[in-house]
């Protein structure tokens, strides 16, 4: 046993003597500082691009045939991805959220695979799948379907990497629906389709729109898989991201910067509008 005198006990620091307001302020100051450092890093990256951008080069790029072709192609393919994601993604999200079956965990792991796979690896896999040296590619060739180095191939490559973002968001939105609402619909003898259309879809509208926006932005910014599948054919398969890379490698840095700035403006504007709308709905 240790004998501690009264003087030694009095010398020990006491939590009660520490001002709780001061502790809270120090903690909040630390959190605010770390937040400021994080957003400063993002801001410095964007400022580097803005500082090097020339509005004259941007206007010239917008008025050029190459610039218009890359913009139109990128918007067409990314919108096609959104449509495919909506058609195939909703059923997948519905099944994974509400149905229990063997192998469900495996399917959920497979769903995460396109997110964690390097885009170049994804593009290589699609390139091997679509070429005529295997059975699937041979069947496509015999049917007159050409996917490599075509806009259709771009859509499929972008869909592969972008769809999981919507599916995961929609799945969480469906899973968060109170079970008593779905049970009440079943009690009223409503069909599964009626419940899906009149109960589930309205409740996941916000989350679904956010997921679609993320998938669209991911498809618009896709480079690795698109480059492997579609190459870089000016006026045919050269998207905005591929144009940025090709222009930078050929020394056309001003044109590359203009394309990058436009791409960021597209993505940021859409995401900011969605966040602003969500903030108004939640009162902030």
**Tokens in use for 84?**
């495919």
Q: Is the pLDDT of residue 282 over 80?
A: no
d(CA 260, CA 267): 11
Q: What is the pLDDT of residue 265?
A: 87
Candidate ranges 49-58, 137-146, 241-250; pick with highest mean pLDDT: 241-250
47-56, 105-114, 197-206, 257-266: lowest mean pLDDT where?
47-56
Q: What is the pTM of this model?
A: 0.82
Q: What is the pLDDT of residue 14?
A: 52
Under CATH, which architecture does the 55-282 domain have?
Answer: Orthogonal Bundle (1.10)
For the chain, what are the domain ranges? 16-52, 55-282
Q: Is the pLDDT of residue 6 over 80?
A: no
d(CA 240, CA 160): 18
Q: What is the pLDDT of residue 9?
A: 52
Please answer whether residues 220 and 240 qualify as being in contact, where contact means their C-beta atoms are separated by less than 8 angstroms. Answer: yes
DSSP letter for 197, please: I
Which residue has tokens 């109960």? 199
Q: Is the pLDDT of residue 137 over 60?
A: yes
Q: What is the pLDDT of residue 251?
A: 83
Q: What is the pLDDT of residue 11?
A: 54
pLDDT in tens, 153-192: 999 999 999 999 999 999 999 999 888 888 888 788 778 8
d(CA 68, CA 235): 9
Q: Is the pLDDT of residue 233 over 90?
A: no
d(CA 117, CA 198): 36
């Amino acid at each position: 046993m240790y004998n501690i005198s009264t003087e030694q006990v009095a010398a020990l620091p006491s939590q009660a003597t520490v001002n709780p307001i001061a502790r809270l302020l120090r903690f909040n100051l630390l959190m605010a500082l770390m937040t400021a450092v994080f957003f400063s890093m993002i801001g410095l990256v964007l400022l580097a691009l803005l500082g090097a951008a020339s509005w004259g080069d941007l206007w010239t790029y917008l008025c050029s045939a190459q610039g218009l072709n890359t913009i139109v192609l990128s918007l067409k393919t990314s919108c096609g991805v959104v449509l495919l994601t909506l058609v195939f993604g909703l059923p997948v999200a519905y099944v994974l959220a509400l149905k229990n079956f063997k192998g469900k965990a495996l399917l959920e792991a497979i769903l995460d695979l396109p997110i964690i796979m390097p885009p170049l690896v994804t593009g290589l896999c699609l390139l091997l799948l679509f070429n005529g040296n295997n059975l699937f590619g041979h069947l496509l060739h015999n049917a007159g379907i050409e996917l490599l180095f075509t806009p259709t191939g771009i859509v499929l490559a972008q869909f592969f990497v972008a769809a999981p973002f919507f599916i995961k968001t929609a799945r969480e939105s469906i899973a968060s629906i109170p079970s008593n609402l779905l049970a009440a619909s079943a009690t009223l003898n409503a069909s599964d389709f009626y419940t899906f259309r009149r109960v589930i879809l309205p409740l996941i509208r916000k989350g679904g729109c956010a997921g679609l926006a993320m998938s669209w932005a991911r498809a618009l910014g896709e480079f690795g898989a698109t480059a492997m599948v579609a190459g870089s054919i000016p006026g045919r398969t050269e998207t905005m991201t591929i144009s940025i890379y090709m222009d930078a490698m050929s020394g056309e840095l001003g044109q590359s910067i203009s394309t990058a700035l436009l791409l960021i403006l597209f993505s940021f504007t859409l995401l900011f509008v969605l966040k602003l709308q969500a903030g108004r709905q939640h009162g902030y």
